[in-house]
Structure 1
Amino acid sequence: MDTTPHERTRILLHDPTLRDGHHAVGHQLDADQLRAYATAANAAGVSVVEVGHGNGLGASSLQIGRARLDDATMLTTVREALTFSRMGVFMAPGWGTSKDLAAAVHHGADVVRIAAHCTEADVTERHLGVVRDLRAEAQGVLLMSHMASPGELAEQCALMVKFGAQAVGIMDSAGHYLPGDVTERVHAIADVVDVPVIFHGHNNLGLAVANSLAAVDAGASVIDATAGGFGAGAGNTQLEVLVAVLERCGVETDISLREILAAADVAAERLMKAPPAIDSIAVASGLAGVFSGFKRPVLQTARTEGIDPIDLFLALGERQVVAGQEDLISDVARQLKAATR
Structure 2
Amino acid sequence: MKGYITLTDASLRDGNHAVHHQLKIRQIVRYAQAADEAGIDIVEVGHGNGLGASSCQQGKAASTDVMMLASVRAILGHSKLGIHFMPGLGKISDIEVALEAGVDVFRLASHCTEANITRQFIEYVRHAAKTAYGVLMMSHMADAGEILKQSRLMQSYGAHAIVLMDSAGFSTPDLVKEKVERLIDGLSIPVGYHAHNNLGLAVANSIAAAESGATLLDACVCGFGAGAGNTQLETLVPVLERYGYRTGTSFERTVRLARGADKVLPIRTPHIAIDNISSGVFGLFSGYVPHIERLASELKIDSFELCQALAHRKLVAGQEDVIVEEAYRLAARNA
Cα drift, residue 315 of structure 1: 1.2
**Distance in 2 separating the partners of 1:276 and 1:251:** 29
**Distance in 2 separating the partners of 1:262 and 1:276:** 20
8 Å contact 2:194–2:218 — kept in the other structure? yes
**Distance in 2 separating the partners of 1:276 and 1:192:** 39
2:87 corresponds to which residue? Answer: 93
Q: Which residue among 91, 106, 125 is the counterpart of 2:119? A: 125
1:45 corresponds to which residue? Answer: 39
Over the residues paired in the alignment, what is the CA RMSD in angstroms? 1.1
1:306 corresponds to which residue? Answer: 300
**Distance in 2 separating the partners of 1:304 and 1:292:** 20
Is residue 55 of structure 1 aligned with residue 49 of structure 2? yes
**Distance in 1 separating the partners of 2:92 and 2:110:** 15
TM-score under structure 2 normalisation?
Answer: 0.98
8 Å contact 1:234–1:276 — kept in the other structure? no
Q: 1:276 to 1:36 in 2, by over 3 A?
A: farther
Question: Match for 1:70: what amino acid?
Answer: T
TM-score under structure 1 normalisation?
Answer: 0.96
Q: 1:17 to 1:273 in 2, by over 3 A?
A: closer
1:151 corresponds to which residue? Answer: 145
1:29 corresponds to which residue? Answer: 23
1:320 corresponds to which residue? Answer: 314
1:190 corresponds to which residue? Answer: 184
Cα drift, residue 98 of structure 1: 1.0
8 Å contact 1:235–1:277 — kept in the other structure? no
Is residue 240 of structure 1 aligned with residue 230 of structure 2? no
**Distance in 2 separating the partners of 1:27 and 1:333:** 23
**Distance in 1 separating the partners of 2:258 and 2:75:** 17
Cα drift, residue 277 of structure 1: 3.6
Is residue 106 of structure 1 aligned with residue 100 of structure 2? yes
Report SS of the residue matched to 1:95. coil
**Distance in 2 separating the partners of 1:18 and 1:314:** 31
CA displacement, residues 156-202 of structure 1 (integer Å, 9 cap, x when unaligned):
00110000100012100000001000000101111111111010000
1:224 corresponds to which residue? Answer: 218
Question: Match for 1:86: what amino acid?
Answer: K
**Distance in 2 separating the partners of 1:256 and 1:192:** 32
**Distance in 2 separating the partners of 1:184 and 1:248:** 23
Q: Which residue among 242, 253, 272 is the counterpart of 1:278? A: 272
Any stretches of 5+ residues in structure 1 without a counterpart?
A: none
8 Å contact 1:202–1:235 — kept in the other structure? yes
* Count of residue correspondences: 335
Report SS of the residue matched to 2:44. strand
**Distance in 1 separating the partners of 2:203 and 2:267:** 23
Q: Which residue among 4, 7, 15 is the counterpart of 1:10? A: 4
Report SS of the residue matched to 1:191. helix
Paired-residue identity, %: 47
Report SS of the residue matched to 1:112. strand
